[in-house]
């Protein structure tokens, strides 16, 4: 399982990365360009979209602090891919997800994956997908940690 938000925020580089509001092009700010995925200790997932990073980050902090209910949370960019911070390091068993802005596990996912339930058509070519947001690994640039 990928590192949790608690593990990531314990690292000074990642904590600074998340606390710094990323910029997206003005033309992509419409609607709700940010999404938060959260999972509880039983493996049930929930999501909510947000108009700004600040609002989404506030939700992440709420979930982060509620350790009795939630196991992990991811803040996802719905418009722009983001590279990792230059100084970031993570275990080589994980790849960087440019949407989730964190190390993630990419492998074949079933249509029952929480982020794929509303997308019934899954490709068979390069089917490895992110643990959190469900994006295909083939859709992103490669980063090493």
pLDDT tens for 11-21 read 999 999 999 99
Does the pLDDT value for residue 111 go beyond 60? no
Is the residue at 120 inside a domain?
A: yes
Q: pLDDT at position 79, please?
A: 92
Is the residue at 115 inside a domain?
A: yes
124 confidence band (pLDDT: 50, 70, 90): low
31's tokens:
């609607």
Does the pLDDT value for residue 112 go beyond 90? no
Q: Of 97-106, 108-117, 123-132, 135-144, which gets the smallest average pLDDT?
A: 108-117
Is the residue at 145 inside a domain?
A: no
Q: What range does the domain containing 12 cover? A: 5-139
Q: What is the largest CA-CA distance in the chain?
A: 39
Is the residue at 62 inside a domain?
A: yes
Contact 50, 79 (CB under 8 A): no
Q: pLDDT at position 20, please?
A: 92
SS3 state at 139: helix
Is the residue at 52 inside a domain?
A: yes
Which one is predicted more confidently, 145 or 76? 76
Cα–Cα distance, 140 to 122 (Å, whole number) = 17
pTM of the model: 0.84
**Phi, psi (rounded to 5 degrees) for 74:** -135, 140
pLDDT tens for 38-61 read 999 998 999 999 999 999 999 999
Q: pLDDT at position 130, please?
A: 83
Q: How many domains does the chain have?
A: 1
Is the residue at 144 inside a domain?
A: no
């Amino acid at each position: 399982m990928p590192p949790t938000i608690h593990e990531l925020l314990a690292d000074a580089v990642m904590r600074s990365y998340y606390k710094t509001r990323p910029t997206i092009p003005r033309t992509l700010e419409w609607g709700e360009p940010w999404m938060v995925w959260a999972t509880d200790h039983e493996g049930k997932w929930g999501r909510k979209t947000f108009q700004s990073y600040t609002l989404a980050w506030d939700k992440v902090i709420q979930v982060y602090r509620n350790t009795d209910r939630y196991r992990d949370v991811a803040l996802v960019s719905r418009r722009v891919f983001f590279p990792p911070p230059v100084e970031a390091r993570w275990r080589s068993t994980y790849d960087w997800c440019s949407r989730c802005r964190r190390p993630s596990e990419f492998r074949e996912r079933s249509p029952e994956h929480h982020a794929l339930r509303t997308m019934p058509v899954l490709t068979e070519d390069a089917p490895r997908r992110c643990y959190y947001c469900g994006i295909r690994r083939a859709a992103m640039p490669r980063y090493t940690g």
